[in-house]
Amino acid sequence: MNLAHFHIDGSSRVGVVIEDRIYDLSAEARSAGVSVPDSVLGILAGGAGTLAVVQQVIDGAGQSFALSAVTLDPPLLPHDGKLFCLAGNYAAHIQEGGGHFAGKDKMTPHFFIKPWTTVIATQQAIRIPAVSTFTDWELELAVIIGRSGRDITVEDAAGYIAGYTIFNDISARELSYRKDRELQAGDGFFDWLVGKWPDTFGPMGPWITTADAVPHPDRLGMKLWLNDELQQDANTGQMIFSPAEVIAYISQFVTLQPGDVISTGTPAGVGHSKKLQLKPGDRIRGEIEGLGVLENSVEAR
């Protein structure tokens, strides 16, 4: 099942996407005389019972909109959840950046957090701030947490995954804000981190596909195009640490909650290794098998 937020005629709604149509879930539920949550997060947090009610409503639905007639919003609206990202979770990406892949047995997952102000929907614009002098893409599979947990085992981790979506971890590889002083200890790390934080640097969507519809998240094709030229072509099976291993690792430190997002890292093919950067006027399109298409334009802020 594909769950989305959308708006039409000035009204924000929650919907279910089937092929090229979207159903207004709240309206259909009212017609059926049943109650369903009015947000994607509420549906996911409700678990299998809520999803069963949603499926029943949609099975009896009589009206839908063409996807082309609505505007999709981010599939998770801003909330108190956390947005985690993995760094260096594909060996070829480590190597294209000049690093050495020492082997999984000598590594631990490296993760960081992006603010929700980075998140935009498909078809919305990535806006490059003046301080970013080299802006890059990173196509990633994102995991949506459906229930709270701490110290989760690898074996139990799948039971905490409510769904999946596409995420693009847009990154400012080079920054120009520090013009009047020399680099100090720690500046390089801070530059790397703050380069992940600008507004609009987290395209997400186009919707969330529930976990039951993704039986093999470890074998999904991933492709990203810049202005119709293929840049990334990989498979989620190339991850160093699986989503289950990442969930187990992060939950040692942080309680995971419904609506938390874990973006699992990017494969090889980013622009920095090719001296190819995003610029105003570009269009970028990412696809992950079975999860839809995430497409964004690029503007100057």
pLDDT for res 183: 75
pLDDT for res 184: 79
Angle (CA) 170 172 174, round 5°: 155
Give the model confidence (pLDDT) of 93-141 as tens digits.
Answer: 999 999 999 999 999 999 999 999 999 999 999 999 999 999 999 999 9
Instruction: Tell me: pLDDT of 179 over 90.
Output: no
Instruction: In whole angstroms, give the CA distance from residue 124 to residue 170.
Output: 13
pLDDT for res 139: 98
- Mean pLDDT confidence for 274-280: 97
The residues, ordered by sequence, that sit 6+ positions from 150 with a Cβ below 8 Å of its Cβ are: 251, 254, 255, 256
Instruction: In whole angstroms, give the CA distance from residue 284 to residue 124.
Output: 11
Whether domain 2-72 has CATH 2.30.30.230: yes
pLDDT for res 176: 87
Which residue do the tokens 């993704």 mark? 214
Instruction: In whole angstroms, give the CA distance from residue 282 to residue 226.
Output: 7
Give the model confidence (pLDDT) of 139-178 as tens digits.
Answer: 999 999 999 999 999 999 999 999 999 999 999 999 888 7
User: Among 227, 203, 204, which Cα is nearest to 280's?
Assistant: 227
Instruction: In whole angstroms, give the CA distance from residue 301 to residue 297.
Output: 12
User: Among 215, 170, 222, which Cα is nearest to 197's?
Assistant: 170
pLDDT for res 4: 98
- Mean pLDDT confidence for 74-91: 95
Give the model confidence (pLDDT) of 26-78 as tens digits.
Answer: 999 999 999 999 999 999 999 999 999 999 999 998 889 999 999 999 999 98
pLDDT for res 162: 98
- Mean pLDDT confidence for 285-300: 98
**pTM exceeds 0.75 for this model:** yes
Instruction: In whole angstroms, give the CA distance from residue 220 to residue 205.
Output: 16
Largest CA distance in the chain: 66
pLDDT for res 231: 98
DSSP letter for each residue of the chain? -EEEEEEETTEEEEEEEETTEEEEHHHHHHHHT----SSHHHHHHTHHHHHHHHHHHHHT----EEGGGSEEPPSS-S-S--EEEEES-BHHHHHHTT-----GGG---EEEE--GGGEE-TTSEEEE-TTEEEEE--EEEEEEE-S-BSS--TTTGGGGEEEEEEEE--EEEEE-S--SS---TTHHHHHHHHTT-STT-EEEEEEEEEGGG-S-GGG-EEEEEETTEEEEEEEGGGBSS-HHHHHHHHTTTS-B-TT-EEE----S--SGGGT--B-TT-EEEEEETTTEEEEEEEEE-
Instruction: Tell me: pLDDT of 258 over 80.
Output: yes
| Mean of the per-residue pLDDT values of the chain | 95
Q: State what percent of residues in the chain have pLDDT above 70.
A: 100
CB 45 within 8 A of CB 70: no
Instruction: Tell me: pLDDT of 192 over 90.
Output: no
Q: Where in the chain is the domain with CATH 3.90.850.10?
A: 83-300
Instruction: In whole angstroms, give the CA distance from residue 217 to residue 289.
Output: 9
Q: Where in the chain is the domain with CATH 2.30.30.230?
A: 2-72
- pLDDT tier at 190, thresholds 50, 70, 90: confident
**Highest mean predicted confidence (pLDDT) among 178-187, 191-200, 221-230:** 221-230
- Mean pLDDT confidence for 177-187: 77
Instruction: In whole angstroms, give the CA distance from residue 283 to residue 301.
Output: 16
- Mean pLDDT confidence for 74-96: 95
Which residues share a beta bridge with 11? 8
Please state which CATH class domain 83-300 belongs to. Answer: alpha beta
Instruction: Tell me: pLDDT of 243 over 80.
Output: yes
